[in-house]
Amino acid sequence: MILSDGTIRDLLDKGELVIDPLEDDQIKGQGIRVGRQIQPASVDLRLGTHFLKLDEHNIPFIDLENPAKYISFDKEEIILPPRSFMLATTMEYVKLPNNLTAFVEGRSSIGRMGLFIQNAGWVDPGFEGEITLELYNANQLPIKLRAGRRVCQLVFALMDQDAYYPYRGKYQGQRAATGSQVYFDVENEQR
């Protein structure tokens, strides 16, 4: 079941779901609550200031068995070159309860500009941390991005019961854009 804005607000008010910081709601005419980030069936997340770019000039290839080398930087504004890839982080720290999962989706208005935003699309129950986003510019023109811009959304789904083994993996508690840690995967332990 996909959660509505009312259920999302209830979970936030009870502290069962954490999204911090979150823009305050606004009261419109006739007492209708309109959130800047809370949408009818999702919560918009904003671009943070930390980015990672693969150090492509100093590595011959990407190896799934060893750590990749990244260039890390903090900026309020970046230019994403055409057909290029970069990791970014959300401004928001998210904490999911053990019975809730979330899908990360790019905002339609952003996708229509040729900027694809993902994080492998899934946030497991029990996860907490800032969400690392994968940015890809599908255009032939650069795209200018500023921190604080709403770039993606979380769509929440209620599970039929608490997860037996909620997420406690290698990205738990991450702050800032976090590079791939695929080299910790079980496939690499069996070599």
* Active-site annotation, residues: 134
Position 160: which residue type? D
142: cis peptide before it, omega within 30°? no
Q: Comparing C-alpha atoms, which of 3, 5, 76, 78 is closest to residue 36?
A: 5
E strands, 28-149, in order: 33-35, 38-39, 42-54, 70-74, 77-80, 85-95, 100-106, 115-118, 122-123, 128-137, 143-146
> DSSP per residue over 118-155, as a string?
ESTTEE-TT-EEEEEEEEEE-SSS-EEEETT-EEEEEE
